[in-house]
Amino acid sequence: MSGLVAQRITFSQALVKTSRWWPVALIAMFVAAAIFAPLIAPYDPNAQNLVGRLKPPGTVSRTFHYWLGSDELGRDVLSRIIYGARISLTVAFASVILSGAVGVCLGMMAGYRRGWVEMVIMRVVDVFLSIPAILLAIITVAVLGPSLLNVILVLVLTRWPRYARVAYGQTLAVANMPYVRLSAFMGASATRVLLRHVLPNIIGAITVVATLEFGLMVLFEAGLSFLGLGVQPPTASWGAILSVGRNYLANAWWIATLPGACLFLLVLAINLIGDFVRDYLDPRIH
């Protein structure tokens, strides 16, 4: 009986380890496809073949072999999905890094300085958090105009308050530690105290927020592109492909289904990694 229990425990541990690694492998595959898109994609994502429009997966038309089918202009869906990964990951990486940098700096400053600095920064955070993020993003992009750079700026503008809120709460807890107060008493500047003593202690919580925000950034970019407010045609984007594919669901399901599946798998893998990072950094679990 004890041997059977031990085997079950060993199997469950192996299953847990496997479940932790496949999201990493999946994200690595998407990242590699985005980086090496010109080498991997079989065709130019914007190359048209009107004779081969709306062909199902596996069809050959002229010089095109449509492994995942073609769209309404005869463009290869596989090539457009591969190049679309570039847009989604570029926007996600840039927006997470920039919004994280802005939010963490302001949050730490509010938690350490206190007083009127805290009041001003945190009231601004409250205002931004009270507005639906997707609504604010749509309004801002509509005003600035749709483009890749504007999408990144809009996501940074709408998502930095979440980092600021977490950094503020964590800084309040760390700022009263004896070694932090002693460092300030010995004459260390606020910048040195924040970078040397506060930031290393709150980076774990910020990392958890960043991993979860990464998936949201992918979804926000796809949503804006779906509404025509993201990158503009003919640039390939998963959201833009979904927007076109919804008009052909009856007779060309692959146009919307396949990039939608890629979007689902990428966000799922990111969220699973975020859960693992949260559990790993939570001292109550160990």
Neighbours of 157 (CB within 10 A): 19
Residue 18 — pLDDT band, cuts 50, 70, 90? Answer: low
Tokens of 162: 């979440």
The pLDDT score that the predictor gives to residue 161 is 92
Average pLDDT, the chain: 84
Residue 40 — pLDDT band, cuts 50, 70, 90? Answer: very high
Sign of CA dihedral 77, 83, 89, 92: negative
Distances (CA, A) of 22 to 17, 18, 82, 177, 213: 9, 6, 20, 40, 20
Cβ-proximal residues to 67 (8 Å cutoff; 6+ apart), any chain: 42, 57, 58, 76, 78
The pLDDT score that the predictor gives to residue 104 is 93
Q: Tell whether the model's pLDDT for residue 77 goes beyond 90.
A: yes
Average pLDDT estimate for 153-163? 90
Residue 9 — pLDDT band, cuts 50, 70, 90? Answer: very low
Percent of the chain with pLDDT over 90: 36
Residue 259 amino acid letter: P
Q: What is the pLDDT of residues 177-194, one digit of tens each?
A: 877 777 777 777 777 888
- The answer to whether 23 and 273 have CB atoms below 8 angstroms apart is yes
Q: Tell whether the model's pLDDT for residue 163 goes beyond 60.
A: yes
- The answer to whether 224 and 230 have CB atoms below 8 angstroms apart is yes
Q: What is the pLDDT of residues 274-283, one digit of tens each?
A: 888 777 765 5
Q: What is the pLDDT of residues 238-279, one digit of tens each?
A: 998 998 898 898 888 999 999 999 999 999 998 888 888 777
User: What is the DSSP-derived secondary structure letter of residue 74?
Assistant: S
The pLDDT score that the predictor gives to residue 93 is 93
pTM of the prediction? 0.84
Structural domains in the chain, CATH included, are 81-281 (1.10.3720.10)
Alpha-carbon gap, residue 121 to 132, rounded angstroms: 19
